Amino acid sequence: MSKEVRVRFAPSPTGHLHIGGARSALFNFLFARSQGGKFIVRIEDTDQARNVEDATEKLMDSLKWLGIDWDESMDIGGPHAPYRCMERLDIYESYLQQLLDEGKAYYDYMTEEELQKEREEQLARGEAPKYSGRDRDLTPEQRKAYEDQGITPVVRFRVPEGQSVLVQDAVRGDVTFETEDIGDFVIARKDGIPTYNFAVVVDDHLMEISHVIRGEEHLSNAPRQALVFEAFGWEKPMFAHASLILNPDRQKMSKRDESIMQFVEQYQELGYLPEAIVNFLALLGWSPVGEEELFSLEELEHQFSLERVSKAPAVFDTDKLAWMNNQYVKEADVERLTKLAIPHLQKENKLPATLNDEQYEWTKKLVSIYQEQMHYAAEITTLTELFFQREITYNEEAKEVLSGEQVPEVLDHFSQELEDVTVEPEEIKAAIKATQKATGQKGKKLFMPIRVAVTGQTHGPELPQAIALLGKSTVQARLSEAVKQ
């Protein structure tokens, strides 16, 4: 095996990029970059029944959105092409035949009904279900008899009896499995297509993969894969199984769990920033040196190490993610945020499908006054509701503000001051100051009635900016309505 660090992310094209898969991809990418190695993306598409059309493209697009690039894959090629498993069937076939010829694999003719009955009988006896080995040592005559009945076999790996399988794990240390608990496993289906646990070993060997970094849920696959490596006499890669990711209730995350968004594309659609998602995922099971929590991708590349990957489960804290994304939103270019926010406002029919220059600049100013508050771009629709309401409904707190005896005078004077100014923030500040001078009111007795009358809220964005965006006619109409109230 090459001494160069070579790692891979090998997803199955069964849907969108899951946050667990994204973390595995990120850990592999960061480790490769930290070691000056290579990061390979390979598509494990041998389970044809579960493959989803266009899933590969969506997976790759999500990785690119996160800023994760690769050194070898289907799109850019590489010295170990092809990088899609279904295009490597002829390669697998020769290695399958080698194991069959050496007696390390064999044909199994048991039907699904027979296997199911066998499993049920084992469970009834209180045993863990595993293949009994019925067809382990068939004679040529017995095989022919099955084939004459039209039964198509699978290929099973012959698991050595009474042995221990050592898996060296950079996160968990040495992990030992007993072969008596494994049972002979299928390495090629009836249609001749290899199963994951066989194909992945052949590919990892031929692509010179040095480290296999993935989630803990794959730990049970490790002994099977280790046995296949040993059967060929190949050097095993170093494994590294990162911790489980738990949902906010500290339960094992399930793809059927609807209490949490689990796919990268969902966060992209809501207007999260990719650098925040990367930062958050990196801290799911990896700890940096020190107390700092905010890291750029480049900083993560320099800091990442397998030694600081944890065995303890990581909790996917949605509040923490929203907080972290807000930190990035605050520092983001307002032009970028505006482009993320516009589709959400258009979806709610708050903006036209096509914006002219004036409308775009207005929207940019709108986004800028909520930049500090936004956790993600889609929030702009609720944060800015007051700018798109035709009528304001005052809550009890607002009504109490408007009930002050000084309110009619303050609102009336402010309305008069607005008549002679252009609606720009500096001129609005001057109009408020003139109102203060004319009425003798100041502080909350001055500002709060104007804010409530104009926005319907007792708190919100800077008042001059809000009034400038609402426009003179809207503000005057709201002031008049508030006096009536």
CB 449 within 8 A of CB 404: yes
* Per-residue model confidence (pLDDT) at position 77: 97
For residue 286, give the nearest of 171, 169, 168, 174 by alpha carbon: 171
For residue 220, give the nearest of 191, 183, 189 by alpha carbon: 183
Active-site residue, 472 included: no
CA distance 73 to 80: 9
CB 418 within 8 A of CB 465: no
CB 42 within 8 A of CB 10: yes
Residue 48, number of CB atoms within 10 A of its CB: 10
For residue 19, give the nearest of 304, 227, 315 by alpha carbon: 315
Beginning with the edge strand found earlier in the chain, give each strand of the sheet holding 173-178 in spatial order.
173-178, 164-169, 238-242, 211-215
Two structure tokens written together for 210: 């040095």
Which residues of the chain register pLDDT less than 50? Answer: 1-2
* Per-residue model confidence (pLDDT) at position 485: 73
What stretches of 62-203 adopt beta strand conformation (E)? 105-108, 154-157, 164-169, 173-178, 186-188
* Per-residue model confidence (pLDDT) at position 257: 72
Could you report the per-residue pLDDT of 257-302, keeping only the tens digit for each? Answer: 777 899 999 999 999 999 999 999 999 999 999 899 999 999 999 9
What are the residue ranges of helices labelled H in 45-88?
55-66
The helix/strand/coil state of 90 is helix
Q: For the chain, count helices (H), then strands (E).
A: 20, 11
Catalytic residue among 64, 117, 255, 399: 255
Two structure tokens written together for 477: 């109409």
CA distance 442 to 100: 91
CA–centroid distance for 184 within its chain: 35
> Residue 38 — φ and ψ, nearest 5°?
-115, 145
Residue 70, number of CB atoms within 10 A of its CB: 24
CA distance 272 to 264: 10
CA distance 461 to 370: 7
Query: Which DSSP symbol is given to 403?
Result: T
pTM assigned to the model? 0.93
Query: Which DSSP symbol is given to 287?
Result: -
